[in-house]
Chains A and B, each alone.
Chain A
Amino acid sequence: MIKETIEITNKLGLHARAAAKLSHLANTFHAEIHLNYNTDRVDAKSLLGILTLAASVGNKITIEANGKDEKKALGEIVALFKAKFNEES
């Protein structure tokens, strides 16, 4: 299992469209992927699960990946966060 903590930098945080992109990407991997925020832990493959975090800009999320493609999964998910979910220029 590998993990990385990243700060949310897009203005709207983990809102519906960002959560949809994140869950869509997470579903392309075999690895189990979880997001940890404060005491909450959700499945990154669940759109509704991500939304229940109610995480906004400035919050720090720890992403955990566990499985044979965990390295690729974590790398691409971190990149999506860093790209601000491709919703800001």
Chain B
Amino acid sequence: MIKGLIITHGNLGKELVAVAEAILEEKVDIECISFDWRGDGTGAVHKVEHYLGQHRESNVIIFTDMFGGSPTNICYKFNRKNIEIITGVNLPGLLKFLTYKDKDIPFNDFVKLIKKEAIEGINIISEFLGEKKK
């Protein structure tokens, strides 16, 4: 089983999940933690530790909003065999995660699949239309 956790500045993660639920028309199984940048991040770290403690037997993907940002930086210490951290969470990547997490895909392959989908979800429309015209 693959579990998911989103850690973002403010409520960005919660809003992404709300939109994903509207698109998929169902409640989704993913946890959100808001990082309060006015504090020192201790609260968020404790929440991550608590979540990971509850899911020791699972593979977990932690999504963060931006490489180099505090929500990402507090996660480095959690990086281990069954936990991967993917930065720059976006809707395409999140939807792929939610719709494929229950398929029987090896964890390492699954992590790469999510990254690929998230990157492919970024397009410059003029280039995209140009390619279609060729």
**Chain A interface (Cβ within 8 Å of chain B)?**
16-17, 20-21, 23-24, 27, 38-40, 47-48, 52
The 8 nearest A-B residue pairs measured at CB: A16-B23, A20-B23, A20-B24, A48-B92, A17-B23, A47-B95, A48-B121, A48-B117
A40 engages B132 (CB within 8 Å): yes
A48 engages B96 (CB within 8 Å): yes
**Chain B interface (Cβ within 8 Å of chain A)?**
22-25, 92, 95-96, 99, 117, 120-121, 128, 132
* SS of A interface (majority): helix
> Which residues of chain B have C-beta atoms less than 8 A from A16's C-beta?
23
The one of B95, B121, B132 that contacts A20, using a Cβ cutoff of 8 Å:
B95
Who on chain A is nearest to B129 by CB?
A: A54
